[in-house]
Structure 1
Amino acid sequence: MQIKEIIVVEGKDDTAKIKQAVTADTIETNGSAVNQKTIDLIKHAQEKRGVIIFTDPDYPGQRIRHIVSQSVPGCKHAFLTKEEARAKRDKGIGIEHASVDAIRDALGAVYELTEVQPIAITKEDLIALGLVGGPQAKTRREKLSQMLRIGYTNGKQLLNRLHMFQISKDQLAKEMSGIFQEEQNES
């Protein structure tokens, strides 16, 4: 699998793992202190070939994703779940610990951010679906985030991510029906 865009990652171990999974070029941020030189390089990459931000599913990774996406509009996003990014032998979480298949799946399900358009999904919809404020809300959000590959979200972030990635009300309903079916089968 060859990736046209340049993939923004956190470090050299991430680059090595991605190159095991796909043919791609990377830019390494070297941690969460993303400097202006790196931002300028990412801007240039975005103009020439496009950029996919692919950071670890932890706080520093989210921080890097936010800094880069705010500084370089139009980037695409790939996500791994914490389970996919967890090492079997130790407590590390990161792209470098993910399987080659998980990396290919994440890069195959890239989201492109667009201008936020008013979408039919509302906070009331999320409450009605038990994604916010209920006893199973966190578990349901985790399952939904995995299914949609939008990264982990808390209650406040979920609506923004659904809008940001233009998830339709129909797509949300379809994924939630699968979650509800799974819950029924478990009980």
Structure 2
Amino acid sequence: MVKTLSDRNGRPTIPHVVLVEGKNDRNRVLEAVRADVLTTGGEALTESMVQTIRRLHERRGVIVLTDPDGPGGRIRRALTRAIPDLYHAYVPSHAAKRQGKIGIEHANLSVIREALLHPIQGGHPRNEGSPQYALLHHRPADTASPEEEKTTDSMLTWQAFQAMGLVGEDFSRDLRLKVGDMLGIGYGNAKQFYRLLQLFNIDEEKLSHAIKVAR
């Protein structure tokens, strides 16, 4: 079981990155817990997405929470083949059904919370006393709009992100490509890249240095 504190709204803090399929799933998870959440954007996993998940898992740990249906199962199996030691949280289909539709977005908050507090890794319960758990346990970023979001440790603001030329300039796309490769976090559009910086806990100093080298 994940031992963690709760916020003033009673949401427990999950130390790992939670992986779901879509935005509605992400929003539902954030009603249940306080966590950093990454979306796959659907069933088609690109190699770039798999690499991003692998790097995140190495640094922070990733809990897979896909829909309890066919596509969700295929995503789990594909990721398990690529990254065997991922953490997995499961919500039964009967607890994620509403008006004939199945998905995490329809699940009861207490069920989601319970699943994320009891993930399994490689088919075995996680070891809370391991050094890896201690390294992964940290306070995730607040969940707000991209303009308001800040990284967990660096307090990197959207305004600072803009000022560094990573958005809104003719060269921004190429700069994000170079910086993403240099930091090993992959590529995304402006908002996606800002989110990746948060998920990987890239602070302003490290980002600034990478930009200077990239230029």
Q: What CA RMSD, in Å, does the superposition of the two structures yield over aligned residues? A: 1.2
Counterpart mapping for 1:14-163 below 5 A: 14-87=25-98, 90-113=99-122
Given candidates 16, 22, 29, the residue that maps to 1:11 is 22
Q: Which amino acid aligns with 1:91?
A: G
The residue that corresponds to 2:5 in the other structure is: none
Q: What is the CA distance between 1:105 and its match in structure 2?
A: 1.1
CA contact (8 A) 2:19 2:38 kept: yes
Q: With structure 2 as the length reference, what TM-score do the two structures score?
A: 0.51
Q: What is the CA distance between 1:13 and its match in structure 2?
A: 0.7
Q: Quick one: distance in 1 between partners of 2:19 and 2:111?
A: 17
Q: Which stretches in structure 2 are left out of the alignment for 5+ residues?
A: 1-11, 126-215
Higher helix share: 1
Deviations 1:46-65 (A, max 9, x none): 01100101111101000001
Q: Quick one: distance in 1 between partners of 2:48 and 2:37?
A: 15
Q: Quick one: distance in 2 between partners of 1:21 and 1:48?
A: 24
Q: What is the CA distance between 1:27 and its match in structure 2?
A: 1.5
Task: Give every structure 1 segment of 4 or more consecutive aligned residues whose post-TM-superposition deviation is greater than 6 Å.
Answer: none
The residue that corresponds to 2:151 in the other structure is: none
The residue that corresponds to 1:123 in the other structure is: none
Q: Give the match's secondary structure for 2:115.
A: helix
Q: What is the CA distance between 1:165 and its match in structure 2?
A: 3.8
Q: With structure 1 as the length reference, what TM-score do the two structures score?
A: 0.59
Q: Which stretches in structure 1 are left out of the alignment for 5+ residues?
A: 114-163, 167-187
Q: Quick one: distance in 2 between partners of 1:25 and 1:77?
A: 15
Q: Quick one: distance in 2 between partners of 1:7 and 1:67?
A: 17
Q: Which amino acid aligns with 2:115?
A: A
Q: Give the match's secondary structure for 1:83.
A: helix
Work out the number of aligned pairs and report it.
114
Percent of residue pairs bearing the same amino acid type = 37
Q: Quick one: distance in 2 between partners of 1:111 and 1:50?
A: 12
Q: Quick one: distance in 2 between partners of 1:56 and 1:83?
A: 11
Q: Quick one: distance in 1 between partners of 2:84 and 2:60?
A: 14
Q: Quick one: distance in 2 between partners of 1:73 and 1:5?
A: 16
